[in-house]
Every structure is written in structure tokens, then in C-alpha cells.
Amino acid sequence: MRTWKYTFTLLFLILAAILLALSQVPDKNLHIIACDVGQGDAILISYGTTQILTDGGPDPSVLTCLGRHMPFWDRQIELVISTHPDADHSTGLTNVLESYKVDKILINPMDPGTNIYQVLKNSVGGRGIGVINPVSGQTLGLGLIYLDILNPTGQMLDSLPVINDGDKLVKYSVKAKTNLYSIAYKLSFKMFTGLFLGDIPPEISDSLAGTGSIGRVQYIKIPHHGSVNGITESLINTVKPKVAVISVGKNPWGLPSEEILNMLNKYEVRILRTDKMGDIDFVTDGEKYWLK
């Protein structure tokens, strides 16, 4: 009798494990998950078993988001993007590198002189992760996902002081205005497009609008947590997004600002906020899109 009880329990556990695994089989849609990491940024882009993580937030809480939205058996992230070295975007990336196998990292080779960047640099170098330095005009492809780099420009990078020529992690010294060099990119998936802007300041926003090369997008990640020191009306008017995501938490600056919210409302852009909604799982099949 006892043997049958143990056998039944074992079979039940096996069945439960199989059902759990089946429940986490990826669908055929692209998921853009703005992780609720408080006052910071972390966005997981997932298609099948391919994942792209843009920024890692201010602490290890990004791991909780990844655990919720990646299959438990998938411990590999194909691409990590560190848009700029500010603590609210890059601190959690070290925890990600320690917990997942990361194939490549897209990162600007600039040293802000902070302990946080030193730890991240050592973590990347110590794991032999492939390093890609971005420059506008560059295109990266991961299956059906394409990323067109919009910022920084080669001219901007050439104006920086070189401290370690040829070093893909510490070539330039940048002690201030790190937002100016934030990695901004346009994502394309079939007929769907999204715009991811890191923490670009207004002058970069206006410059991107002035190029006229981005075209319209369905999705936009608002830079700088909805600060007036980020997105400009010229860019919103140029790309005419349908949905705007603001990654923000409790903060002393009153973000997102009323000015930015009013501007988005003016253009009838649907606003999604992590401080009000938690993780935001935006889904598209390449044509239609919806919230999960």
C-alpha cells in the first residue's frame, strides 16, 4: 500500500512538472515587457526562445521580472543592451549576468568613473561575453527582430576623449551628460515597429525628429521616466505612436511630469505606466497588438 502511495505521488509530481513546462512553452508572438523595477528602466523583449533585455533597473528586482516572463528552463539571454551607465538603468545588469548566460552585450565603451560601471565591466569581461559597440546607422538582426541604432552618432563619439583605444568597454571617458549618449534604437518585427530611447535628452529627441528617417511607430518607450528633460513634441509628432510606456516608480521629482502627460494626450497616445500597472506585457503578432 505504501509503495503504491509513493508511486502515485511520484507520478503526480511528474505530471505537474510536465503541465508546468507546457504552460511556459513560448507562443508565436513578440512580447515587450516593461518590468516594474521601481524608479528605473528594464525592458524584456521576447520572441520564442530569443530574449533581448534593455537595461536592468536600479537593483536585483529585474530578476523577479525575468523569472515571471521567461520559461524556467530558459537561462539564456541572446542580447543585453545597456543604454547608458546611470545607476537606475545599469545596476541590475550585473545580477542578470550572474544569473543567466548572456551571449552578447550592446554597450557604449565609455567610463563614467563609477563603481557600478566598474563592477559591470568586470562582470562582462570575466564571462567572455561578446561586446558590440553601437553607432547610428548600424542594424542588428535576431531572427525576425531587427534593431536599427539611432543614437549615438559616430560624430558624437569621435568628439570624446580617448583613454583606451581599442577597448570595447572603456575607450572613452565621460564624466557628465551620460544621457546624451544613450543608446536609442528602432525595433522592427514584421509590420510592427517600436522606438526605445533610453534616457535621451531633448536635443537628441529633436535631432531624431529632424532626420525624418524613423517613420511612424506603434510603440514608444518614453525616455527619462517622463521627465521634461527627455521626449519632445517634435519627435512625438514625427513618429505618431499609438502607445507610450513610461517606466517609473515612486520619486521625489513628481515624474512623469504633467507636461509630458498632456503632450501625449494631445496626440491621443495611450499611456501605460509601470507605477500604476506593474509589469506591462505588450504583445504583437507583427500586425495587431494588445496587452496581455
Output the domain CATH number for residue 280: 3.60.15.10
Number of domains in the chain: 1
Do the domain assignments include residue 19?
Answer: no
pLDDT in tens, 32-81: 999 999 999 999 999 999 999 999 999 999 999 999 999 999 999 999 99
With a CB cutoff of 8 Å and minimum separation 6, the contacts of 206 are: 232, 234, 235
CA angle 200, 105, 52 (to 5 degrees): 80
Do the domain assignments include residue 10?
Answer: no
| Cell numbers that stand for 279 in this block | 509589469
- Which domain covers residue 241, as residue numbers? 28-291
Distance between CA 139 and CA 130 in Å, rounded?
A: 16
Q: What is the pLDDT of residue 12?
A: 56
Distance between CA 177 and CA 291 in Å, rounded?
A: 35
Do the domain assignments include residue 110?
Answer: yes
Question: The cell 514584421 sits on which residue?
Answer: 190
Do the domain assignments include residue 21?
Answer: no
Question: The cell 524556467 sits on which residue?
Answer: 72
- Tell me the one-letter amino acid at 254: G
DSSP state of 161: P
Do the domain assignments include residue 286?
Answer: yes
pLDDT in tens, 249-280: 999 999 999 999 999 999 999 999 999 999 99
Do the domain assignments include residue 18?
Answer: no
Do the domain assignments include residue 257?
Answer: yes
| Cell numbers that stand for 79 in this block | 542580447
Q: What is the pLDDT of residue 16?
A: 45
Do the domain assignments include residue 107?
Answer: yes
Is the pTM of the predicted complex or chain greater than 0.95?
Answer: no
